[in-house]
Amino acid sequence: MFDPKENPHRRFNPLTREWVLVSPHRTKRPWQGQVEELPPDEHPAFDPGCYLCPGNSRAGGAENPEYTSTFVFQNDFAALLPGRVESPPAADPLFQSEPVNGICRVICFSPRHDLTMAEMAVAEIRPVVDCWAEQSAELNATPGIAYVQIFENRGEMMGCSNPHPHCQIWASSVVPNEVAKEDQSQREYFEAHGRTLLSDYLEKEIASGERLVDVNDEFAVLVPYWAVWPFETMIVSRRPVAGVDALDDAARDGLSAILKSVTTRYDNLFRISFPYSFGFHQRPAQCPGEGWHLHGHFYPPLLRSATVRKFLVGYEMLAMPQRDITAESAAAHLREAPEIHYRHLRSQP
Ligand code: H2U
Ligand code: ZN
């Protein structure tokens, strides 16, 4: 008899329409891989050498104001530049290209250099959510913008050089690959069922509870059935809202609380500031939003300790993604991780 806890199998991701290979029996093999060097865990509240701290100069020469909450600026090394450039259509289908333009911004979450979402209070995360909503609304309404991608790289392991809490926004004149896949699958699901794909999915996840990490009235966080990264999670709005800009007051509070919950659990898992890439998927700018259901993806690279990371190499580059620890087991670890941050526990008498 097939046992998903023992037998190799593949699982389907209905958002991207891709499969992931799950090899649960492999978690028993001994680890002989790379050990990462741990980044320093303590930071000052203000770092005179940080290009994001209030009052400091950035690499481009601009000076940051003495900001007290969130702070948004144009990325000094933007990957996308404003201003449309005309180009004739590709003559050769094997050598296609087209101009892409857009706007890149950086958002500081807090003037404090030493905080992370996990260590910020829910009431301090709320202005960050408001800022995401304002930026999404503004950029969605900007002529020529097709998609607004909000994302955060956290930790040196993810290529983020600066611990100051911040994220980026890339608003582009094209809909990026991952979003285009989710756009098609969500639109087709909605046309077929009259409900969003993630409403139906979330209802079943909440009923089963197997992969659920935490839930409040407005948002849930879970390890998706089809997760690729060991401790990958998805945060999903309980109401089918199409974008961050459409979140009402209660939903923004619910999102702030769920972000605090999941990032705290991550940090507590291995008692380190947990590295990840996080970002929202929301309706494309030109799309009325039918079928679109706001969600966020956390992709953390760590596997089984603060020093053991997972690489997507070999079979995964050449064939398909693969995981060992099951989504259900990862969810149980995160559910059981304390809700109070380990640093705050440490400082209690
Ligand atoms: P990470 O979040 O991946 O660390 O990227 C930080 C961004 O900050 C990066 O896109 C920008 C970089 O271009 N940056 C500035 O805009 N100004 C600076 O002075 C340094 C970094
Ligand atoms: Zn700083």
The set of catalytic residues is 166
Q: Tell me which of 51, 73, 106, 154 to substitute to probe ligand 1's pocket, judged by most ligand atoms within 8 Å of the beta carbon.
A: 106
Q: How far is the CA of 34 from the centre of ligand 2 (A)?
A: 30
Structure tokens at 132: 């995401």
Atom of ligand 1 nearest to the CA of 152: 2
Give domain status of residue 106, yes or no.
yes
Q: Is 86 helix (H, G, I), strand (E, B) or coil?
A: coil
Q: What is the pTM of this model?
A: 0.95
**Partner residues linked to 108 by β-bridges:** 71, 166
What is the Cα–Cα distance from 140 to 142, expressed in whole angstroms? 6
End-to-end, the C-alpha distance of the chain in Å comes to: 53
Beta strand 308-309 pairing with 302-305? antiparallel
1 in a structural domain: no
Q: Quick count: other Cβ atoms within 10 Å of Cβ 283?
A: 26
Per the structure, the complete domain to which residue 143 belongs is given by 9-27+38-85+99-347
Overall number of domains in the chain: 1
Q: Is residue 42 part of a domain?
A: yes
Is residue 93 included in any domain, yes or no? no
CATH code at 104?
3.30.428.10
For the chain, count helices (H), then strands (E): 7, 14
Residues with CB under 6 A from ligand 1: 51, 58-60, 75-77, 106, 153, 160-162, 166, 168
Confirm whether 94 is domain-assigned.
no
In a domain, 62, yes or no: yes
CA dist., res. 340 & res. 119, Å (int): 9
| Per-residue pLDDT tens listing for the chain (349 residues) | 999 989 999 999 999 999 999 999 887 666 555 566 676 678 999 999 999 999 999 988 999 999 999 999 999 999 999 988 888 888 899 999 999 999 999 999 999 999 999 999 999 999 999 999 999 999 999 999 999 999 999 998 888 879 999 999 999 999 999 999 999 999 999 999 999 999 999 999 999 999 999 999 999 999 999 999 999 999 999 999 999 999 999 999 999 999 999 999 999 999 999 999 999 999 999 888 889 999 999 999 998 888 888 999 999 999 999 999 999 999 999 999 999 999 887 655 5
Asked if residue 201 lies in contact with residue 35, where contact means CB atoms within 8 angstroms, the answer is: no
Indicate whether 189 belongs to any domain: yes
In a domain, 92, yes or no: no
Query: Atom 13 (ligand 1): residue with closest C-alpha?
Result: 77
Quickly count: other Cβ atoms within 10 Å of residue 103's Cβ: 22
Name the amino acid, one letter, at 15: L
Q: How far is the CA of 171 from the centre of ligand 2 (A)?
A: 24
**The two structure tokens encoding residue 98:** 């087209």
Distance 10 CA to ligand 1 centre (A): 38
203 — phi, psi (to 5°)? Answer: -60, -45
